[in-house]
Amino acid sequence: MSILDRFSLRNQTALVTGGGRGIGAALAQALAEAGADVASADLDLAAAEARAQELTTFGVRTLAIRVDVVRAEQVQQMVEQVFKAWGRLDVAINSAGVAKISPAEELTEAEWDAIVGVDLKGIYLCTRAEGAVMLAQGSGSIINIASMSGQIVNRPQLHSHYNAAKAGVIQYSRSCAAEWANRGVRVNTLSPGHTRTPMTAAAEPTMGSTWISNTPMRRLGTPEDLQGATLFLASAASAYVTGHDLVIDGGYTLW
């Protein structure tokens, strides 16, 4: 098999949570361009449906699914829907996430639960359900979207709950990778730096200049900057890679 063939996802199926917009939408497109059938799952069904329709232009099968990733029964139904439609699940990208700024001394229990619920519990619920299918079939690749904030205390935004959740995503994924490594299922994390998305747009006018000045490449990332690394981790090109956190931050964590 040639090296380019090893990056192909033809005849494979994929599921992307948070797939309706932002990073998730861009990663869903990368998988479709590589030949995978793609299920776009999102809390916003209309956004998932729009993305699924757009992906059909790449000649692949698509699904749109509404899911709240903090609801275990909905996550299970999502995975079952993909399996029922296509008979297998080869790639899963768990991208659904939220962020909110709050000083640590003012952080309420409700704010903690909301962020950690989506950003960490959601990853756990999805990985558990996806992993069960992949373990049964003896193969699969799971990519959990973490953040460089899982390794550093980012600035100037104050979001200790977000940092803690993303650090948890990295370590939880490493734990699953170790447990499943000899059973055919790989688990890795992708940790973006400051990336221009609908979620970051509100903070960019006040914080964007600080983000850029702290980034050696002197620009914010785009969702498309994450596509190549995602395809690598999803495909046979990374067949010997598991438990790895791939940071894509324009050099931010170098300083």
In what order do the strands lie in the sheet containing 13-17? 62-66, 37-42, 13-17, 91-94, 140-145, 185-192, 245-248
Of 144, 147, 246, nearest to 192 by C-alpha is 147
Q: Which of 124, 162, 172, 252 is catalytic?
A: 162
Is 252 in the active site?
Answer: no
What residues are labeled active site?
Answer: 162
